[in-house]
Structure 1
Amino acid sequence: MLFLLAVAAFLLGSIPVAYLIARWTRGIDLRKYGSGNVGSSNVMQATSKRWTIPVAAYDLGKGILAVWLARWAGLDIGPQFIVGLAAVAGHNWPVFLGFRGGRGILTSLGVILAFSPLLGLTVLVMSFSLAPFKNLSLGVFIALLSLPALSYFLAEFFSIAEPVAVSVGFSVLTILALGRRLIGRRSEIASGLPVGSLLLNRLLFDRDIRDRNTWISRSKENGNKSLS
């Protein structure tokens, strides 16, 4: 049962709704536009804000649904996390797009919400705390890094029944989500950057260079090329 649910969750996560919407509405390959990520943020840049809503809802919902299905099947906390993580992995490495997907942040949030709605909302608030300073990616990094500790030390507050198991599961989720940032080809704009600086920028800011404006300009140039 666990194996079947994990495979089903991976395939569910692999359905590239962001890619399909960008293809249907603008006729573009989202992997060749802007940041190249197959996710809601790149859809907003490639199409419009209104198309971001269904993409975000699906990406969030498949994380919640994967855990709920495992719970409905009577699986324990550990197997529930395995199924939830399979959905995140499917989003990050979708089989239908040659294993090149998005960051899996919204799907990860869906998994968190499935285990503790209050903790999920807390993580969401922490993530957006730096958004006014144009550092949403750094806020996400801080929130994810805090997730295992919050789930363990404040388990009663967040209504978590098995804090050890949940904390371990969230630790794996954090590694999966942040590790995804580190993987990818080096962009031309960062060709002369030392490997250590490159990885640090990706980990903290989810981009190859620290300068946000230069990175956005580079993303727009990529988008224009893909449309030409």
Structure 2
Amino acid sequence: MTGVFMIFIGYLAGSLSTGIIVARLMGLGDPREDGSGNPGATNLLRLGGRSAAAATLLGDGLKGVLPVLAGHALGLSDGLLALVGLAAFLGHLYPAFFGFRGGKGIATGLGVFVAWSWPVGLGVLLSWLAVAVLMRMSSLAALISFALAPVYLLLFTDAWPLAAAAAGMALLTIWRHKGNIQRIARGEEPRIGRR
């Protein structure tokens, strides 16, 4: 029962859409209706500047970290920790509190990876940074770094349930970025630092 409860808590935590909350507090409207239409840190940077983006990034990351760390403290198995992290990620994508219209889950997913294993989280973050610096595309950086997450989990933890959940998160990331993928293929994807 503890595991089921923590999976539920993970989903509820993920459903707290930080970008929407920050935008409302700052009088920016609904980020799902402006800019890229995504309530993530990248869009909040466009709409409200660095402070809005930083608050969104921090809040979204903590949504992934805290439920998994709580699960660790309660002694949950790798299989249950995988489901708690996946639930937090799904909560961000499909938030119960905001009409099931959420973001793409990158910061929340990174928080989950960090809580599962900090070397894995660091590996995903460094991969994101490397692609972002070289290609100057946030979406491509997200796709590649999340695709590498299951590999890092097997290398650093040998925990198959966590790697399987990370693979599911990578597939969901591809699905949520399908529009970006089409723009990348056409050479129309916006570059970091350009509007």
TM-score of the superposition, structure 2-length normalised?
Answer: 0.87
Whether 2:189 is the aligned partner of 1:173: answer: no
Report if aligned partners of 2:143, 2:173 keep a CA contact under 8 Å in 1. Answer: no
Q: Which runs of 4+ in 1 moved over 3 A?
A: none
Instruction: Give the letter for the 1:95 counterpart.
Output: A
Q: Secondary structure at the match of 1:74?
A: coil
Report if aligned partners of 1:129, 1:136 keep a CA contact under 8 Å in 2. Answer: no
Question: 1:98–1:130: structure 2 CA closer, same or farther, 3 Å change rule?
Answer: same
Report if aligned partners of 1:12, 1:87 keep a CA contact under 8 Å in 2. Answer: yes
* Count of residue pairs brought into register by the alignment: 192
Report if aligned partners of 1:9, 1:83 keep a CA contact under 8 Å in 2. Answer: yes
Structure 2 residue aligned with 1:39: 40
Which one of 136, 157, 163 corresponds to residue 159 of structure 2? 163
- Per-residue CA deviation, residues 133-180 of structure 1 (Å, 9 max, x unaligned), is 32232122112112222322x23xxxx2x4333322321222233222
Q: How many Å apart are 1:199 and its aligned residue?
A: 7.8
Q: How many Å apart are 1:200 and its aligned residue?
A: 4.1
State the identity %.
29
The separation in 2 between residues aligned to 1:213 and 1:123, in whole angstroms, is 22
Q: How many Å apart are 1:126 and its aligned residue?
A: 0.9
- Per-residue CA deviation, residues 83-129 of structure 1 (Å, 9 max, x unaligned), is 11111111111111111010001110011111221121111111121
Q: Secondary structure at the match of 1:168?
A: helix
Structure 2 residue aligned with 1:201: 182
Q: How many Å apart are 1:42 and its aligned residue?
A: 1.1
Which sections of structure 2, spanning at least 5 residues, go unmatched? none
Structure 2 residue aligned with 1:110: 111
Instruction: Give the letter for the 2:165 counterpart.
Output: G
Report if aligned partners of 1:128, 1:140 keep a CA contact under 8 Å in 2. Answer: no
